[in-house]
Chain A
Amino acid sequence: MKKLIFTSAVLLITTLGFSQSKYETAMKEKIDKVEQHLSADDFQKLSNDFTRIGDAEKTQWQPYYFASFAQIQKGRILMQQNQTAELDAVAAEAQKPLDKAMELSKDNAELYILKKMIHGLKMMVDPMNRYMTEGTAAQEALAKAEKLDAENPRISILKAEDLYYTPAQFGGSKEKGLELFKKALEQFKIYETKSPMNPNWGKAEAEYFIANKP
């Protein structure tokens, strides 16, 4: 009988416990993937998974944040493969969950960081003609993020990327870029994310740049 009660109790507790942390469990497993080097298709799947969680939860901004971020990651993979013509569609798909996240969480620096990245994707479709519009919008979004959360290391990461890839003739510099990546690493030591569900990516990228100088 004791055994029975014990078994039942364990079952019950697991069930209850499971249902309580179901959100966190589902999120964590997927959040771990967003920083991995996945294929464009896998990022699309991941983005859909996050959207599903967001739609079911209805009040959490994080699932939508990651749905948008996974879509942006897909865009970056396409960009590496020179498929820039598809970036407009990807940017539009990244914008949808971001809009939902912004409704749920106002004045959130992390969301403006994504906004910057989306404008960056759109600019890459046709940099010649879009710089003045998309480039400016991207910088404005980043400035807004900085105003809201100056010490956010992901702001330094984005600035570092920009500097790193701008040719020297135009004021870019690999060294200055690397300095900013180092600054980001310093910021990661101090910066505290309020919840394990919150964005925490970027450290691996900074380390990669500093180690490999691609």
Chain B
Amino acid sequence: MKTSFLKSIQFFFFFCFSLFYSQIIISGKVEFRNKGIKDVNVTLKNTYDGATTDEKGNFSFETSEKGEHILVFSHPKYVEVEEKISITNQNIEKNTILKESISEIDAVVITAGAIEASDKKRATALLTPIDIYTTAGADGQISAALNYLPGVQKVGESEGLFIRGGSGTESKIFMDGSLVNNYFSNSVPGIAGRDRFNTSLFKGNIFSSGGYSALYGQALSGILILESVDLPETSSYDFGISPLFLSGGFQQLSKNKNASFGATANYFNLGLAQEIFNYNTDFTKAPRGFGGDFNVRFKTKKGGFIKYYGSFDDNKMAVKNESLEPEFDFSKVRLKATNTNHNLSFKQKFGNYLLNMGSSYSYNISDLGFSTIENEVESPVNQMKNVDHYINFKTVIERKIMKISSIRAGFELNNANEKRNFGGFSKNYKDLISSVFAETDLGLNNRFSTKIGLRAENSSYLEKTNIAHRFALAYRISPQWTTSLAYGIFYQNPESKYLNSSAPLTFQKSEHYIFQLQRNSDGRSLRMEAFYKNYDQLVKTSGNQYIQIAENNSGNGYGKGLEIFWRDQKSLKTIDYWLTYSYLDSKRKSLNYPISLQPNFASEHTFSAVAKKFVLKWKTGFNLSYTYAKGRPYYDIVSQNGQNIIRNEGRLKDYNALNFSLNYLPNLGKKDSKTFTVLVLSVSNVLGSKNIFGYNFSNDGLRRSAIVPPVNTFVFLGAFFSIGVDKTNDAINNNL
């Protein structure tokens, strides 16, 4: 009895013990859209017990807990779920379905039409700011580097971005949101102006070859959005020296690193280059000039950020050509130009709202003098002088709604005041374009996103108003493949130089349809885009080679094509390359074209290749680029008896250029060195291809002369020093 009692007590204790410590298995499966999710952290709340799901979403763990508990399922990409469970002495199976958590990082981005150069790591950023610097043949000019991207036509004789069958004036450039009037330097006809802004001023850019946001307007073809740099990393002194120019400047950063200011000055003269190289262009005065800029950037106490950038430049040149007219020996054109440009922007967050304000002011004088020379006697100069003022002001308010959606709205004012004098003829063109716009980004989930925008513009000159709608969407097909669509209507005022009569005119119009397919994987990107662009209400003109007069808006046209971009930083060890092919079919009946013609700035096939390699041992970067463009058409069109007729036409030979550059960084790795030096050697058109950009015709159309680049092969040598900053580490990591 005693023993049996003891035994039963013992049993009781053991029973209690085993009950207390009995292990229950909790298992289950975690799914999203009928697929198991890996790496979900399953936790029995407030205990150590739990597990991590496997590839199939299965989990299983043991616990000795009892009673009412909560099972928590968490994963960074999904919304956390809590499930109540009651643990008795039976195994539990608990299956759960998670919902995707919507976040900006995982959300698909609309990329139709756009290519971004940014240090932010995301699908839209196919390029980094350094890529712009190191593209051979771009001479450090952003607009020239864009020639190696899909959609941009290689047009050598004039500045501007010629996008998908659009002329150079159909693209606009913005800096920190505000329109930059006079982005390119002044030049003479036949010689392209250069980018006025140094590449190092910008930390990134977005180039859109169509279907762009309602925040921007007055560009029938595309836009380039530049984002200026923020505060510098440290204070520094910088110098540049080359046979072509001298420059010097400084940046001063405040001790608490929330304000900076700086200034630079430069002088250039192509005289020496002209002595050395075999120039096609006879510069009687080699291009020369001086300029300077000043910047202030600071953070306000309330978290706002103010940036100011102002520049001033003055340049001159004179060119002599053999005259096409039998009565003269030479024709001569000289240029005197002055420009000042100011850009101010302000950005601040107010709770859920983000305010962006920007304004720009540009003042430009371009003074061209035309004359003829016969028997070494120069005729009186025919002056064409333009004095232009532009003021742009823009405000955008943005509000985030939910996690990945937002609404933006704002207004923009652009005031132009242009005075033109040519011979006895003078005019003053004034136009205030007032715009309002609103746009919404709607992200339904991480895979699907849409953008709907509306923009209205009023032009005081045209006394007309337009309303344009824009629409875009993006869908992620798989982790690597995304597709985007964009549609939009775009309006642009007729170019002011054609507004020489009182003919009633209206906005020119284009309509874009863009379809894009993009594949991004680590180190490789493939981007394919098909587009159709329809032009309507284009301005038709008549007149002579000096003055064209807009008559009506009866012009029209189209551009359609296919573009492929492939970038690969992985397949070839230490070589980074990209390839671009653009097919373009475009015709238009605009300006003085009497019938629908392939524009003289549109090439059907453009191919380019860019390759870069950095050799660590030699501390040298080697860059190559190549462009091929099928010959463009050329026309000689004159107005006779109120009718435009084609007197001469033909096709230019194909364009070819192989460019090479190298950067040598001798101080690389010298940790104690206070000076950072970069030596640059660049050779454009290494093979010396004799490219032709077009023809000028004599008044009677019987003689012609080719428009060619000022020099076929150009060599640039320069040295840049930066003192006070150790950029060595920077350079190391640029090239590791």
Residues on A close to B: CB < 8 A? 1, 4, 7-8, 11, 15, 22, 26, 41, 44-45, 48-49, 51-53, 55-56, 82-85, 88-89, 92-93, 123, 125-132, 135-136, 166-171
Contacts and interface: CB of A to CB of B under 8 A. Distances in A.
A129 B130 contact: yes
Interface residues of B, number: 41
A128 B13 contact: no
Interface in B118-154: 119, 121, 128-130
Q: Could you tell me the dominant secondary structure of chain A's interface residues?
A: helix
A44 B728 contact: no
Contacts of B670: 171
20 contacts: A1-B6, A4-B10, A7-B13, A44-B39, A48-B43, A49-B48, A52-B49, A56-B47, A84-B522, A92-B76, A123-B733, A126-B121, A128-B733, A131-B729, A132-B233, A132-B730, A166-B732, A167-B669, A169-B669, A170-B668
B52 interface: yes
B595 interface: no
A131 B730 contact: yes
B729 A135 contact: yes
Interface string B712-736: 0000000000000000111011111
A63 B163 CA distance: 57
Contact of B616 (A8, A127, A167): A167
Nearest to B21: A15
Given A48-B41, A56-B48, A169-B617, 4 more contacts: A8-B13, A55-B45, A127-B736, A170-B669
A130 B729 CA distance: 11
Contacts of A123: 733
B69 to A, nearest CB: 12
A93 B522 CA distance: 20
A136 B522 CA distance: 25
A49 B270 CA distance: 69
Contacts of B49: 52
A15 B671 CA distance: 61
A89 B121 CA distance: 12
A55 B13 contact: no
Nearest to B618: A169
B706 interface: no
A82 B522 CA distance: 9
B121 A88 contact: yes
B520 to A, nearest CB: 9
Contacts of B616: 167, 169
Interface string B1-23: 00000100110010001001000
Residue from the set B20, B121, B730 with the largest chain A CB neighbour count within 10 Å: B121
B690 interface: no
Given A44-B39, A52-B41, A4 B733 contact: no
Contacts of A82: 522
B119 A48 contact: no
Interface in B386-413: none
A127 B733 contact: yes
Given A52-B41, A167-B616, A4 B6 contact: yes
A55 B70 CA distance: 13
A45 B39 CA distance: 7
B617 A56 contact: no
Contacts of A49: 48, 50, 52
Contacts of B736: 127, 167
A209 B644 CA distance: 81
A175 to B, nearest CB: 16
Contact of B48 (A53, A128, A166): A53
Nearest to A57: B48
B46 interface: yes
Nearest to B106: A89
B447 interface: no
B619 interface: yes
Contacts of B732: 131, 166-167, 170
Contacts of B617: 169
Interface string B32-44: 0000000101010
B48 A125 contact: no
Contacts of A51: 41, 43
Nearest to A130: B119
A82 B570 CA distance: 11
Listed from nearest, the 5 A-B pairs whose CB atoms lie closest are: A131-B733, A129-B119, A170-B669, A48-B41, A170-B732
A11 B13 contact: yes
Interface string B360-380: 000000000000000000000
A128 B10 contact: no
A130 B120 CA distance: 9
A198 to B, nearest CB: 19
A128 B128 contact: yes
A3 B522 CA distance: 68
Interface in B680-736: 728-730, 732-736
A135 B129 CA distance: 18
A55 B46 contact: yes
A45 B47 contact: no
Contacts of A170: 668-669, 728-729, 732
Contacts of A126: 119, 121, 128
Contacts of A4: 6, 9-10, 13
Contacts of B130: 128-129
A170 B119 CA distance: 23
Contacts of A8: 13
A129 B569 CA distance: 15
Contact of A169 (B39, B51, B128, B668): B668
Given A48-B52, A170-B669, A128 B121 contact: no
A135 B9 contact: no
Nearest to B54: A41
Nearest to B734: A128
Contacts of B10: 4, 7
Interface string B612-640: 00001101000000000000000000000
A8 B20 CA distance: 14
Contacts of B47: 52, 56
B50 A52 contact: yes
A9 to B, nearest CB: 11
Nearest to A45: B52
B429 to A, nearest CB: 44
A56 B46 contact: yes
B73 to A, nearest CB: 11
A45 B54 CA distance: 10
A85 B41 contact: no
A169 B619 contact: yes
Contact of A26 (B48, B619, B730, B733): B48
Interface string B78-91: 00000000000000
B41, B46, B728: residue with the most chain A Cβ atoms closer than 10 Å = B41
Contacts of A167: 616, 669, 732, 736
A52 B39 CA distance: 14
Nearest to B76: A93
A178 to B, nearest CB: 19
A22 B65 CA distance: 14
A95 to B, nearest CB: 11
Contacts of B41: 48, 51-52
A34 to B, nearest CB: 15
A44 B616 CA distance: 36
